[in-house]
């Protein structure tokens, strides 16, 4: 055997790395030569110039489209605008200019009609924003953009303020859209920033497209009763903020309270299940969940203030619980689901006390141990995800034994936060179509609930409406 050292064979001949190095050195020398530096500067300048020109063209195109649409709208609306102006003046109001900050934080007056509440034309206040088309014509505003803010609302020194003031404020904004759909749970400034950060032509077209059905969705109710009565179920007509505040107060107290969410399906169940209905009647809070209940509200002339569901409420509740120092226990879902949701919470609300969690598949024999574990954990808030109406009945039967101060039936919430079931995209929720997304995910389980259930629900609501109208008429004749 030969012990002679073998020379490594290089596929590209000898010392190829030397050739590479020489080539690199010569390239660098070229690059740093006077000519090379000049060439790079020129290329850099041309790149910046083309970006600047492209941005300017995009801004000019947007302004041009806004102006053209505004002219067309103004021509079409001018007879109506004139009529409204005359009515506003006759009723003691008129056209006012609200101080607002526009692009580059310049002050401008946003035109609005004003009809005094005491006048017989006060209902026309829903059209008060029509003269804003003049601001778009003048270039103070766009059709779509961040909200037009009052001069003292957002200080110029705030970092985010500068970003928003790069754009003209819009007649339509993300905030307006979400408010119409009753899912405006992020704060106004947050939604403005979401718009500014994701601003694109497609985004604007999306807002414009969603604005059409949003107009018909109706928006936040200005006059709404404190309690709603639908098909025998009584609902507390609260906003998300009020509901999470009340639940946190319950968690700090000493009673064993129950909170239930009701959607159209729950109202249907309560129609034929007296035990479930009795549990809802005894719940300390019953909250309106979903577009079905919202629609019923409009049909029955009982405006629902906000669409509140456990899934949207969880972040608010965790933030409030974190601040109040109250703890939470998660019960329900398949094995691994409650753990996943607990992890989601721990990542975002690290100071919130997680008392414990466990899956929702246990036998009647195991139930005492489950209750004992919750009691031992000292949980203040207990989220129970076993599906309606089972979870509501379970809470009613076991809330004392669990020791929790407030127990809430939350349906599929843990599945969403563990990531097992994805939540509908925001644009679908804005359109009140989350139910369709749920159907799409589990068509076999959900078709009956949504297609048959919703039809039955609306039929019952329509029947109730006819009865209430009829009895109101009879009442009128009698009195």
Q: Please, which residue, 169 or 332, has the CB nearer to ligand UDP?
A: 332
Query: Is 334 an interacting residue with respect to ligand UDP (CB under 6 A)?
Result: yes
Tell me how far, at minimum, the Cβ of 192 lies from ligand UDP, in Å: 33
Task: State both tokens at 43.
Answer: 């290329």
Count of residues that interact with ligand UDP, criterion CB under 6 A: 13
Query: Is 21 an interacting residue with respect to ligand UDP (CB under 6 A)?
Result: no
Strand partners, 96: 112
Mapping DSSP to helix (H, G, I), strand (E, B) and coil, where does residue 408 land?
A: strand
Tell me how far, at minimum, the Cβ of 64 lies from ligand UDP, in Å: 49
Q: Please, which residue, 219 or 387, has the CB nearer to ligand UDP?
A: 387
Pick from 282, 340, 341, 348: which is nearest to 321 by CA?
A: 348
Q: Please, which residue, 169 or 389, has the CB nearer to ligand UDP?
A: 389
Task: Find the part of the chain contacting ligand UDP (CB under 6 A) among 90-98, 216-224, 283-291, 327-335.
Answer: 327-335
Tell me how far, at minimum, the Cβ of 280 lies from ligand UDP, in Å: 13
Rounded to 10 degrees, the C-alpha dihedral 174/179/181/185 comes to: 90
Q: Please, which residue, 333 or 356, has the CB nearer to ligand UDP?
A: 333
Q: Please, which residue, 238 or 414, has the CB nearer to ligand UDP?
A: 414
Query: Is 262 an interacting residue with respect to ligand UDP (CB under 6 A)?
Result: no
Task: State both tokens at 350.
Answer: 């690290």
CA–CA separation, 313 vs 245, rounded Å? 11
Distances in Å between the Cα of 446 and the Cα atoms of 308, 383, 435, 441, 452 are 21, 23, 9, 9, 10
Query: Is 66 an interacting residue with respect to ligand UDP (CB under 6 A)?
Result: no
> In 34-170, where does DSSP find H-type helix?
34-90, 132-138, 159-164
Which residues 411-470 are close enough to bind ligand UDP by CB under 6 A? 411-412, 414-415
Which residues 348-407 are close enough to bind ligand UDP by CB under 6 A? 360-361, 385-388
Q: Please, which residue, 345 or 385, has the CB nearer to ligand UDP?
A: 385
Tell me how far, at minimum, the Cβ of 305 lies from ligand UDP, in Å: 22
Sorted by sequence, the CB contacts under 8 Å of residue 333 that are 6+ apart come out as: 341, 359, 360, 385, 414, 415, 418, 420
> In 361-425, where does DSSP find H-type helix?
367-377, 390-402, 413-418
Site residues, ligand UDP (CB under 6 A): 332-334, 360-361, 385-388, 411-412, 414-415
């Amino acid at each position: 055997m030969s012990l002679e050292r073998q020379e490594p064979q290089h596929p590209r001949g000898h010392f190829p790395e030397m050739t590479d190095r020489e080539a690199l050195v010569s390239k660098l020398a070229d690059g740093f030569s006077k000519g090379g530096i000049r060439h790079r500067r020129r290329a850099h300048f041309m790149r910046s110039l083309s970006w600047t020109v492209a941005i300017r063209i995009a801004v000019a195109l947007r302004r041009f489209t806004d102006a053209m649409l505004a002219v067309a709208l103004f021509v079409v609306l001018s007879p109506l605008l004139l009529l409204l102006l005359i009515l506003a003046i006759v009723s003691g109001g008129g056209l006012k200019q609200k101080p607002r900050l526009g692009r580059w934080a310049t002050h401008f007056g946003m035109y609005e009609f004003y009809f005094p509440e005491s006048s017989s034309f006060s209902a026309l206040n829903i059209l008060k924003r029509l003269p804003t088309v003049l601001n778009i014509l003048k270039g103070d505003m766009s059709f779509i953009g961040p909200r037009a803010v009052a001069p003292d609302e957002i200080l110029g020194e705030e970092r985010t303020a500068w970003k928003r003031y790069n754009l003209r404020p819009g007649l339509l904004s993300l905030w307006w859209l979400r408010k119409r759909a009753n899912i405006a749970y992020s704060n106004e400034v947050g939604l403005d920033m979401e718009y500014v950060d994701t601003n694109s032509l497609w985004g604007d077209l999306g807002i414009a497209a969603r604005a059409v059905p949003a107009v018909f969705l109706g928006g936040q109710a200005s006059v709404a009763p404190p309690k709603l009565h639908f098909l025998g179920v009584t609902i507390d007509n609260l906003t998300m903020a009020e509901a999470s505040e009340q639940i946190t107060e319950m968690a700090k107290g000493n009673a064993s309270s129950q909170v239930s969410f009701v959607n159209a399906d729950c109202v249907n169940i309560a129609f034929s299940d007296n035990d479930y209905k009795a549990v809802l009647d005894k719940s300390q809070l019953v909250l309106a969940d979903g577009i079905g209940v919202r629609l019923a509200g409009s049909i029955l002339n009982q405006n629902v203030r906000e669409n509140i569901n456990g899934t949207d409420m969880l972040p608010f509740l965790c933030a409030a619980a974190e601040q109040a120092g109250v703890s939470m226990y998660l019960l329900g879902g398949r094995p691994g689901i409650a753990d996943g949701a607990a992890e989601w919470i721990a990542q975002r609300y690290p100071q919130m006390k997680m008392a414990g969690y466990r899956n929702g598949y246990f036998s009647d024999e195991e139930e005492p141990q489950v209750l004992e574990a919750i009691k031992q954990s000292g949980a203040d808030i207990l989220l129970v995800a076993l599906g309606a109406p089972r979870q509501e009945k379970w809470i009613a039967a076991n809330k004392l034994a669990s020791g929790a101060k407030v127990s809430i039936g939350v349906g599929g919430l843990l599945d969403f936060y563990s990531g097992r079931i994805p939540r509908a995209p925001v644009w679908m929720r804005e359109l009140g179509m989350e139910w369709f997304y749920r159907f799409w995910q589990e068509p076999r389980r959900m078709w009956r609930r949504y297609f048959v259930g919703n039809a039955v629900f609306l039929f019952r609501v329509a029947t109730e409406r006819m009865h209430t109208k009829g009895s109101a008429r009879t009442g009128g004749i009698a009195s």
